[in-house]
Amino acid sequence: MQQLLGRTLLEKRESKGISISRAAQDLLIKKEQLESLESGDWENLPEPPFVRGFIKNYGDYLGLDTDHLLALYRREYDASKHPSANLKGRKLKRFVITPTTMVTITSIFVVGLFIIYLVTQYLSIVSSPKLDVFAPPADTTTSAPVIRIDGKTEPGATVAVNGDFAAVDQEGNFQYQYTLKDGQNIIEIIAAKRLSPKSKVTRIVRLSR
């Protein structure tokens, strides 16, 4: 059923002998939207702010009281009963996994793993190898002419005790028999990896016969 606002617009346009096509061309508004205004078909019109703009321009174009037209619109339009075409047609976008998407995700994942690998390798090169010496204690006195040096470093690192290499197993464990001289012995245990800084632990052992 045509409402008062639409009937007012239609009758005024027809009384002026203006076709709907001409009005649409003059106002730069789609013909279908003017037809919806005249028929009160709110569901096929855009958001209310745009509709109010259409009514004001159309009313000015036809020589009508736009305040009165807008008052009619507010009285006749019920947003709960007449959702706009934009709102009615709006759909939530869903994330769809396509072959292209899978290729992109896989590529990003592979590149990420490669970057992590490079960072890990770089850090392993520039960092000093871990070095723990379990025996002898930091400052000790003994009567035994030979002591055993026990420790652990990183796999792949080399260990030297006062310049002599100690055997390191696959897990980084090492042992070394060190012959003491009388008095104070300063023992330097050094762990090294290729291109990385060295790690050093010093032990002082006194031989007292």
pLDDT in tens, 17-65: 999 999 999 999 899 999 988 888 888 888 888 989 999 998 899 999 9
User: Do residue 141 and residue 120 come from a single domain?
Assistant: no
**Given this model, what pLDDT does residue 114 score?**
85
User: Do residue 9 and residue 82 come from a single domain?
Assistant: yes
Higher pLDDT pick, 84 / 177: 177
**Given this model, what pLDDT does residue 146 score?**
94
| pLDDT tens-digit series, residues 59-106 | 899 999 999 999 988 888 876 665 544 444 444 445 567 878 888 898
Q: Which amino acid is located at 43 in the chain?
A: E
User: Do residue 13 and residue 38 come from a single domain?
Assistant: yes
User: How distant, in Å, are the alpha carbons of 112, 113, 124 from that of 118?
Assistant: 10, 9, 10
User: Do residue 137 and residue 197 come from a single domain?
Assistant: yes
**Percentage of the chain with pLDDT > 90?**
47
Domain count, the chain: 3
Q: How far is CA 199 from the centre of its chain?
A: 38
User: Do residue 135 and residue 121 come from a single domain?
Assistant: no
User: Do residue 148 and residue 188 come from a single domain?
Assistant: yes
Contact assessment for residue 164 and residue 95, using Cβ atoms and an 8 Å cutoff = no
User: Do residue 113 and residue 152 come from a single domain?
Assistant: no
Query: Strand runs (DSSP E) across 74-136, as ranges?
Result: 131-135
Strands 131-135 and 146-153: antiparallel
**Given this model, what pLDDT does residue 142 score?**
93
0.75 cut: is pTM over it? Answer: no
User: How distant, in Å, are the alpha carbons of 33, 35, 114, 124 from that of 194?
Assistant: 77, 82, 22, 10
User: Do residue 50 and residue 74 come from a single domain?
Assistant: yes
135 pairs with which residues across the strands? 150
User: Do residue 68 and residue 99 come from a single domain?
Assistant: no
| pLDDT tens-digit series, residues 114-159 | 888 887 766 666 678 899 999 999 889 999 999 999 999 999 899 9
Give dist(CA 161, CA 190) in Å, integer.
Answer: 7
User: Do residue 137 and residue 202 come from a single domain?
Assistant: yes
Please name the helix (run of DSSP H) or strand (run of DSSP E) that holds residue 148, with its range, or none.
strand 146-153
Give dist(CA 76, CA 2) in Å, integer.
Answer: 11
CATH of the domain at 9: 1.10.260.40
User: Do residue 101 and residue 27 come from a single domain?
Assistant: no
Range of the domain at 169: 131-207
User: Do residue 102 and residue 122 come from a single domain?
Assistant: yes
